[in-house]
Structures are given as structure tokens and as C-alpha cells.
Amino acid sequence: MCEHADRPARLHPVSTRPDVSESAFLKAARGEPVPHTPVWYMRQAGRSLPEYLRVREGVAMLDACVDPDLVVEITMQPVRRYGVDAAILFSDIVLPLKAVGVDLDITPGVGPVVAHPVRTLADVEAIPELTPEHVPFITEAVRGLVGELGGTPLIGFAGAPFTVASYLVEGGPSKEHARTKAMMFGAPEVWEALMAKIARIAAAYLEVQVAAGASAVQLFDSWAGALTPADYRAQVGPHSAYVLERVGALGVPRIHFGVGTSNLLTLMGEAGADVVGVDWRMPLGSAIPLVGDRAVQGNLDPTLVFAPTELMTARAAEVIEAGRAARGHIFNLGHGVIPSTDPDQLKRLTEFVQSYPVA
């Protein structure tokens, strides 16, 4: 059983949010007919854009994430440049932890680094619960973005419990997740408490974003591919399900994405996703039967944007054609945009996907 404390009163979306319900992105997420295949990209706002590098010069990552004006500007950059069908809030997976007081920073070239990794139940109990008062800059940024975006939906996001737990336990990024699994197998009471705490923080964080105007959410489980289906089902999935269930009560589509999770796609869908993200390792046509009656997102290999345009678009067409078998299909890369990507090539890909004939 997941040991979650009593849930706080739910927040409700602001009534001033522009009507984006007929957007291609939200139609696809709901499994409805679309005017064109919608497209957006994970990490579409970031180091691949020269305008991003200019505004981030001399500004630390987490400092950028708590500056509402900068968040709005960076989130809008790929929407202006590419004309994508959805924006995703510029933030970082560990921001909610930083907001509640966890001593961490993002080290360039390394990633999130936690000063005092979680080892004991007392360490877990010392992490505060997140409330809207911890992240007023998120509310301000999302409201600003809703006004800027007009009819383009904004996707809110949070890190899934397993991935965030791994950062907290390992003290930073890890390839083996050895300490994480040691806690999961060897100290189940600490593990359970940690996962429950992170799940409540993630759910509250997403509720803040939806209350301010986000039209959909994505739960990132970057490291879930390190798990077996049995371990995911028993010790991870219920906590992700808790997050998705709480956000689902607000009536927005929920995307669930993990890297290297071909063996977990069915379970990730069953956790409460409306849309299951598929990375590039599995053909989309093979993934669709695994996710059930749900929409899919993906899944062009991110390196194909470095190939000749004709090859890139030919492979994109294969992804779009495969996506026709799903309840709905949102085109994306199979993971984030690589920093050295040519923005002009990504623009060509966007235009190709949006102009590709619908069935």
C-alpha cells in the first residue's frame, strides 16, 4: 500500500484560461479526429536555440526557473520559432525539491546534485510537503504564458517518483541506480515513505500548474527503464498512479513518459495515463498494442534530425503512419532535443508533420 497522507483541498483551474479545447494537441490526447498530426518536442526550449543561450548567459539553471519573466520568454521561444502545437513549461525536474528547501543545485555538465542524500526515515521526514506558497513564481509564469500562448496549449510537468527518488538517494545522476535499488529492496519502509512523499510533492506541483492554466501534464520517469516489470508494479507504479489520479481529477490529459521503458509501457498506461510516451528504441507500431485504448506520443529518433532532410522526413512519415493505429497520436521525438540540433532542421520537421495528410 502507498502511505500517502490526507490529500489537501484540490485546486481548480482559473476561469480566465483561453479556450484551447479544440487544439490539435488536446484533440489527439483525447483520441478525437485532428486537423493535422500535432507535434511538440521534449526539450524544445533549451540549448539548441541561440535565443535561449543569449537569455541564459550568466544565469544559473535554477535561477532561471524561478524568474517568471524568464520562464515565459524561454517557454515561448520554440513556439515562436517552430509553430509547434503545444508549449511545455520551462523548468527542471528537481525544482519542487529545491522549492521546499532540499539542499541541491544543478551542476553544469553533471546535472542535479543533492548535498545530503536521503538515507534514513528521518531524512524523508525532514522534506517538507509542497504547497502553492512554495512556488508562487510557477503560478505567475503559467498565468503569463496562458496569456501569451492564446490558443496553443501549455503542458505542465513533473518528475515521476522513481526518477526523483533516484536523484535524492544517489545524490545525483546515476547509471546503475545501485543505492536506489538497495533502499528499495533493503529498506522498504524508508523507500515507501520517500516515494509517498515525492508523489505528494509531484501531485501538488502539477495541481499548481493546472490551477494557473496548464492544459495538460506530462509525468517524466526518466530512469524507470532500470526497473523490471515486477518491481515497477509492486514498488513504483502505485506512486505514479497516485500522482496521475490526483491530476486526473482536474480534467486535463495526462502524458506518462519514460526512457528505455519498452517493457513497462502497459504498466505505465495502467498507472493512469491518457497518453503514453514511447521512446525511439521501440517501433511505434509495436508499442501501440501494449498501451491499450490510449493515445501515444513519439517517437522519432532524436539523432535523425542530423540526417539529410529527405531521410528525416521519410522516417517521420513512418512514425505518423504507424500512429494511425492508436487511439490518438502526438508526434514527438523519442527523447529530448539534442543540444547541437540545427533549429532550421527542426523547423522543417515541424512543417512536414503538420502538413502530412491525415487519414
Contacts (Cβ under 8 Å, ≥6 apart) of 282: 262, 265, 299
Active-site choice (43, 246, 254, 327): 43
List of E strands, the chain: 87-88, 104-107, 111-114, 154-159, 216-221, 254-258, 275-277, 295-297, 329-330
DSSP 267-287: HHHHTT-SEEE--TTS-HHHH
82 is catalytic: no
Tell me if residue 256 falls in helix, strand or coil: strand
232 is catalytic: no
7 is catalytic: no
Distance CA(164)–CA(243), nearest Å, equals 13
Active-site choice (82, 167, 205, 242): 167
17 is catalytic: no
Q: Count Cβ atoms below 10 Å from residue 58 Cβ, excluding itself.
A: 6
Half-sphere exposure of 123 (CA within 13 A, CB side): 20
Three-state secondary structure readout of 65-127: HCCHHHHHHHHHHHHHHHCCCCEECCCCCCHHHHHHCCCEEEECCCEEEECCCCCCHHHHHCC
Distance CA(6)–CA(179), nearest Å, equals 29
Q: What single-letter amino acid sits at 86?
A: A
Active-site choice (7, 10, 56, 281): 56
43 is catalytic: yes
254-258: strand order across its sheet:
87-88, 154-159, 216-221, 254-258, 275-277, 295-297, 329-330
C-alpha cell at 323: 500512429
Active-site choice (47, 179, 233, 281): 47
Closest CA to 254 of 286, 194, 210: 210
Contacts (Cβ under 8 Å, ≥6 apart) of 262: 279, 281, 282, 287
Which residues are catalytically annotated?
Answer: 43, 47, 56, 92, 167
